[in-house]
């Protein structure tokens, strides 16, 4: 009994084994790359201009082509199909036989660089789907869409060179990154805001890192990043990211993002001509760190997603009532519990001298010197009267007891950082003169008819928000 059972088991398993071997052989014989190489060879033979050329073509060996680059730790077999990349006669041939465009291959010889250093994909794979890393393969880094390929150049070259030598897209992307104020919310190399995550190494994140639920089309990191720039909320519904893109800008920024990588290139693969450090004057720094939320600073905007007003910080009424020291204090402290993060060195990595430059830039729109002083300390104040006035005149926007009003339109005056940083004189001036160009009206003088005494009473009441009950 037993021996018959084992016999049939043996029989079955050897059949299965043979089937697998058979399948392997079949696959090997009909492998895609062989088909392509045979087609390529036939093409060369057919189009040979003379006998010598035909003989050379007939001698072409069909075989896997692999290129191992030890110092980059890459084995690329792409040339097994893309066999004509160095053959000028293939300029007009279809893919995968086409001569490589441009002078990329002359400048980066295949034996020294391979292909995946620029294109990504799975170098060792021998069929197209796996080599390109598309579809349901487990390869983390599928070939990069050609429109983003310049991101690879910045691993080894400086921007000045790339600007002049054929990779201006990644250069434009880097400039946009600075000018759109991405660092208002993201740190890079330790410097920037805190609302979003640090972006160091972001371009090396495998596709599994991203939640692909809302991505349209192929689920690649490339598509995630691009579509997230076009509309952050379409990809991450709760996102507080503020970006406003025109036409091709999201593609340019995507190119730049994929140049921010974890891996360091070995020094012999780096080719730097001229490293130019980006400008660090007040205006450039303001753009890098503040512009994404405050824009030009001239007008204030109510942000639906933040659910609060982003105040105008370069408009004259604000600058008249806030001196540079006050502005610097506000910027250094930030506003706890709001999107306005602290810009102290310990929090943001920004040097204090850079904060000074930003404050000077912000203040450069100040049109004339200090307003007529309010002299708050000379008033005898009445908190009850202040409370009544506040409830009538202010609570609609600033909320009862200052906790932020209707849709947080006015600033939360109870916020401990506001209470700590803003002195009574500043508050009184703000109420008396208002903030032209923002919803904050002027209550003094010919404005909404509060006397200086009324204003002092309101300030005294507002200051009680800061006291623990």
Residues of span 232-271 touching ligand HEC by CB under 6 A: 232, 236, 239-243, 253, 257, 265, 269, 271
Alpha carbon distance, N-terminus to C-terminus of the chain = 91
Among 44, 69, 171, 202, interactor with ligand HEC by CB under 6 A: 202
Among 139, 141, 155, 457, interactor with ligand HEC by CB under 6 A: 155
- Would you say 93 and 84 are in contact if contact means Cβ atoms under 8 Å apart? yes
Stretch near ligand HEC under the rule CB under 6 A, chosen from 11-19, 45-53, 181-189, 276-284: 181-189
Contacts of 27 (CB under 8 A, 6+ apart): none
Distance CA 156, CA 172 (A): 17
Does residue 320 bind ligand HEC (CB under 6 A)?
Answer: no
Residue 333 backbone zone (phi > 0: left; psi -120 to 50: alpha; other: beta):
alpha
In whole angstroms, the minimum distance from the beta carbon of 419 to ligand HEC comes to 10
Does residue 188 bind ligand HEC (CB under 6 A)?
Answer: no
Q: 90 or 427: whose CB is closer to ligand HEC?
A: 427
Does residue 282 bind ligand HEC (CB under 6 A)?
Answer: no
Q: 44 or 177: whose CB is closer to ligand HEC?
A: 177
Among 44, 69, 90, 185, interactor with ligand HEC by CB under 6 A: 185
- Binding track over 393-412 against ligand HEC, x by CB under 6 A: xx-xxx----------xxxx
User: How many Cβ atoms sit within 10 Å of the Cβ of residue 178?
Assistant: 18
Does residue 330 bind ligand HEC (CB under 6 A)?
Answer: yes
Instruction: Return the residues of window 39-98 that contact ligand HEC according to CB under 6 A.
Output: 76-82, 85, 95-96
Does residue 292 bind ligand HEC (CB under 6 A)?
Answer: yes
Distance CA 415, CA 419 (A): 6
Among 116, 220, 259, 342, interactor with ligand HEC by CB under 6 A: 116
Determine the size of the site formed for ligand HEC (CB under 6 A): 119
- Would you say 182 and 241 are in contact if contact means Cβ atoms under 8 Å apart? no
Q: Which of 408, 383, 384, 387 is nearest to 398 (CA)?
A: 408
Instruction: Report in angstroms the alpha-carbon separations of 240 from 225, 237, 295, 407.
Output: 15, 9, 16, 16
Q: Exposed, middle or buried by CB within 10 Å (0-12, 13-18, 19+), for 412? A: buried
In whole angstroms, the minimum distance from the beta carbon of 57 to ligand HEC comes to 20
User: How many Cβ atoms sit within 10 Å of the Cβ of residue 247?
Assistant: 7
Q: 68 or 269: whose CB is closer to ligand HEC?
A: 269
Among 431, 457, 463, 465, interactor with ligand HEC by CB under 6 A: 431
Q: 131 or 456: whose CB is closer to ligand HEC?
A: 131
Q: 227 or 339: whose CB is closer to ligand HEC?
A: 339
Distance CA 152, CA 86 (A): 21
Scanning the structure block, which residue is given the tokens 């980059």? 72
Q: 159 or 343: whose CB is closer to ligand HEC?
A: 343
Instruction: Return the residues of window 350-369 that contact ligand HEC according to CB under 6 A.
Output: 358, 362
Scanning the structure block, which residue is given the tokens 């200090």? 370
């Amino acid at each position: 009994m037993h021996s018959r059972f084992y016999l049939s088991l043996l029989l079955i398993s050897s059949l299965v084994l043979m089937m697998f071997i058979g399948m392997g052989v079949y696959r090997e014989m009909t492998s895609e790359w062989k088909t392509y190489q045979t087609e390529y060879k036939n093409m060369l033979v057919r189009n040979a201009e003379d006998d010598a050329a035909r003989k050379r073509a007939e001698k072409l060996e069909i075989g896997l082509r692999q290129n191992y680059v030890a110092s980059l730790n890459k084995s690329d077999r792409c040339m097994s199909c893309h066999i004509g990349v160095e053959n000028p006669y293939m300029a007009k041939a279809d893919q995968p036989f086409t001569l490589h465009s441009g002078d990329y291959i002359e400048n980066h010889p295949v034996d020294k660089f391979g292909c995946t250093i620029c294109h990504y994909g799975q170098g060792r794979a021998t069929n197209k789907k796996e080599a390109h890393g598309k579809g349901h393969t487990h390869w983390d880094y599928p070939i990069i869409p050609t429109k983003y390929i310049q991101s690879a150049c910045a691993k080894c070259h400086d921007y000045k060179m790339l600007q002049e030598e054929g990779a201006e897209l990644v250069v434009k992307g880097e400039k946009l990154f600075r000018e759109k104020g991405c660092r208002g919310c993201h740190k890079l190399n330790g410097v920037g805001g805190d609302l979003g995550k640090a972006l160091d190494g972001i371009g090396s994140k495998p596709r599994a890192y991203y939640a692909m639920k809302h991505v349209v089309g192929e689920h690649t990191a490339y598509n995630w990043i691009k579509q997230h720039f076009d509309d952050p909320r379409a990809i991450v519904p709760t996102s507080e990211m503020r970006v406003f893109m025109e036409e091709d800008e999201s593609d340019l920024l995507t190119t730049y993002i994929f140049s921010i990588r974890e891996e360091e290139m070995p020094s012999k693969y780096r080719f730097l001509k001229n490293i130019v450090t980006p400008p660090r004057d007040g205006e450039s720094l303001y753009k890098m760190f503040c512009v994404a939320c405050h824009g030009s600073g001239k007008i204030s905007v109510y942000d639906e997603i933040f659910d609060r007003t982003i105040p105008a910080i370069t408009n004259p009424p604000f600058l008249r009532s806030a001196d540079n020291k006050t502005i610097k204090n506000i910027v250094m402290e930030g506003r706890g519990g709001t999107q306005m993060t602290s810009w102290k060195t310990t929090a943001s990595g920004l040097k204090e001298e850079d904060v000074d430059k930003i404050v000077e830039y912000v203040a450069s729109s100040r049109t004339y010197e200090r307003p007529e002083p309010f002299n708050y300390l000379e008033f005898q104040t009445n908190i009850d009267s202040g409370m009544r006035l506040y409830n009538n005149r202010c609570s609609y926007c600033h909320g009862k007891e200052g906790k932020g009003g209707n849709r947080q339109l006015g600033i939360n005056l109870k916020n401990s950082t506001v209470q700590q940083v803003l002195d009574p004189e500043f508050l009184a001036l703000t109420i008396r003169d208002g903030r032209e160009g923002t919803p904050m009206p002027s209550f003094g003088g010919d404005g909404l008819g509060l006397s200086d005494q009324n204003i002092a009473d309101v300030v005294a009441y507002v200051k009680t928000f800061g006291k623990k009950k």
